[in-house]
Structure 1
């Protein structure tokens, strides 16, 4: 079983970054709220899918256990029914024998009417005893027949329940297999997307740019030196060239959502103008990247989301110049759309 949509390590703080974007008015408020709602829905639906997948595995295990118990009950009832049928057959044969003896005794009684009184009484007593025994056997036979009918009713109900459980189990298994198929296809899409991005940015990898896959997403991480001068949000021409090449990939892959995250180190921002602190700087850098991507008119702006993280999501928490250099970065996160998976979950 594949791992179904582990929660992204950025999802909890994404809303905070998005709220800052609105406060600094980097994008119009109405457009921002729409992007924010879409992002929240995507994250909630991914969590919902993970929970649904776990619940399906638990339900499948429970149904398998119930099927085994029901099958054992069916086998036991079949054995009991066979035994009772054999007992019923034996009693029927014994009952027929008693009826024959009774008829013989009645015949003998008629033939002995003229015999001695003592002999007649003896025959009458034997006849009465046989009648009592016959009645007892008939009562036992009726009780056995009643029990057999009850067992048959119980067996029919168990078999009906078993068929229902098996049908439900098959339906759930089919749905689970469909989810696995779509997830496998989604993983293939992510791998193919990573290759397309790597091929497009081949000349930049190892020069301040890395392309990785994590939690079903493609991460394009660009160091500050490739994009910006210290304290600036104006994109360097070489970095802009890398962003444009990435935009070309996004233009022909319309089923990919894009999030741009700006990150700074923990050194307080000392610039001027409209930038106040590292929050402002990280958001400003993210929106600068968005504008370059949207120069490609084939990229739908509805697919793109800008976010500032300031210094609060470092890749290296050390207080060294090397760690701070790693933390000053911009990450472009590419996520395949989950519409097909969400349709299956909505139609459960």
Structure 2
């Protein structure tokens, strides 16, 4: 009897341990997902802070100019108050100065609105990509670099070694990327192929790493086109071995450098042209 009770006690302890281990793994996976989201948010925050600092510096300069003009106008009004008759020409000059101040205030407001809208669109695009593609694969990176959204895919996800034939796993991922691009008709997708620095042995089809990176980029572009993305939205670029992420001094590092990067770019006439025009107009006045 005692042996039976002892056996039941041991079984209870073992089962309890299994449940705790399973729960721990679930919590551990949840923690990793949360940390990935935090890392991405941190990168986005840093990028936004940089853009905000540049805009604020410009705004501060314009506000200083605005304060100077307001002071000049105030002095003019004070002086004119001491005059018995305000000449017609003086009244016109004062009116023009006040109108100029209103225009500058409007341009500053438009510039701030454009920057805010650009940041909102970038954040929405990153969220959409992460929702479609997922972020739990170490061979897939979705991030923001200099206000441009990009997806970086390891070559082992997309191609076999030395090949530019797209794998079935790649088609699954690219299908999700195509869904996002198709929902953004005013955006373009530039595909960049990157290799390591190991010399490529020509087999009559491929000449070198330049050739391999270009053919991999065009293979991805064709796949996206077959998934419904408009050709006018697609750009293929081969970068060869010349923009490595790390030194090509180990198999692991060379694997890191072999990648394909898909950059999601807003068309210039959507946001940036307006910002540049406003900046140009303000600098000329």
1:310 corresponds in structure 2 to 240
Residue 9 of structure 1 aligns with which residue? none
SS class of match (1:316): coil
Between the aligned partners of 1:67 and 1:158, the Cα distance in structure 2 is 16
Which of 237, 248, 258 pairs up with 2:179? 248
1:95-129, CA deviations, whole angstroms, 9 ceiling, x for partnerless residues? xxxxxxxxxxxxxxxxxxxxxxxxxxxxxxxxxxx
Gaps of 5+ in 1: 7-49, 82-147
2:67 paired with 1:64: yes
Offset at residue 254 of structure 1 (A): 1.3
Whether 1:326 and 2:256 are equivalent positions in the alignment is yes
Note if contact 2:209-2:241 (Cα within 8 Å) is conserved in structure 1.
yes
Paired with 2:129 and 2:208, the residues of 1 have a C-alpha distance of 32
Secondary structure of 2:226's partner? Answer: coil
Q: Could you say which residue in structure 2 is the equivalent of 1:184?
A: 116
Once the two structures are overlaid, the 10-residue window that deviates more, 285-294 or 186-195, is: 186-195
Q: Which deviations, in whole Å up to 9, do the C-alpha atoms of 1:240-268 show, x marking residues without a partner?
A: 21011211221222122110000111221
Deviation at 1:318, TM superposition (A): 5.5
Equivalent residues in 2 for 1:5-154 (5 A)? 58=61, 60-75=63-78, 78=81, 81=82, 152-153=85-86
Match of 1:172 among 96, 101, 104: 104
Q: Tell me, in whole angstroms, the C-alpha distance in 1 between the residues paired with 2:111 and 2:175.
A: 35
Quote how far apart the aligned CAs of 1:230 are.
1.8
Query: Does residue 275 of structure 1 match 2:206?
Result: yes
Distance 1:226 1:339 in 2: 34
Name the structure 2 match of 1:335. 265
Q: 1:5–1:215: 8 Å Cα contact kept in structure 2?
A: no
Preserved CA contact (<8 Å) 1:71 1:162: no
CA contact (8 A) 2:152 2:261 kept: yes
Residue 161 in structure 1 maps to residue 164 in structure 2 = no
What TM-score, normalized to structure 2?
A: 0.70
The question of whether the paired residues in 2 share the 8 Å contact of 1:2 and 1:180 is answered with no
Distance 1:161 1:60, change over 3 A: farther
**Distance in structure 2 (CA, Å) of the matches to 1:333 and 1:305:** 10
2:27 is matched with which residue? none
Say which is worse superposed, 156-165 or 255-264, in terms of deviation.
Answer: 156-165
Normalising by structure 1, report the TM-score.
Answer: 0.58
Rg larger in structure: 1
Once residues 169 and 340 of structure 1 are traced to their aligned partners in structure 2, the CA distance between those partners, rounded to angstroms, is 27
Taking a change above 3 Å as real, the CA distance of residues 184 and 312 of structure 1, as seen in their structure-2 partners, is same
Deviation at 1:303, TM superposition (A): 0.8
Give the direction of change, closer, same or farther, for the CA distance of 1:171–1:3 in structure 2 (3 Å limit).
Answer: farther
Whether contact under 8 Å (1:217, 1:335) holds in the other structure is yes
2:73 touches 2:97 (CA, 8 Å); kept in 1? no
Name the structure 1 match of 2:149.
218
- Name the SS for the 1:339 alignment partner: coil
Contact (CA 8 Å) 2:157, 2:167: kept in 1 or not?
A: yes
In structure 2, the CA distance between the partners of 1:314 and 1:346, relative to structure 1 (3 Å rule), is: same
Aligned to 2:13: none
Aligned partners of 1:332, 1:232: CA distance in 2, in Å? 19
2:240 match: secondary structure: coil
SS in 2 for 1:265: coil
1:298-333: CA deviations, max 9, x gaps?
x21101100000111111235233322211100000
The number of equivalent residue pairs is: 231
Matches within 5 A, 1:276-291: 276-291=207-222
Change in 2 beyond 3 A, CA 1:272/1:5: farther
Native 8 Å contact 2:80 2:86 kept in 1: no
- Partner residue, 1:46: none
Change in Cα spacing, 1:68 to 1:2, as seen in structure 2 (3 Å) is farther
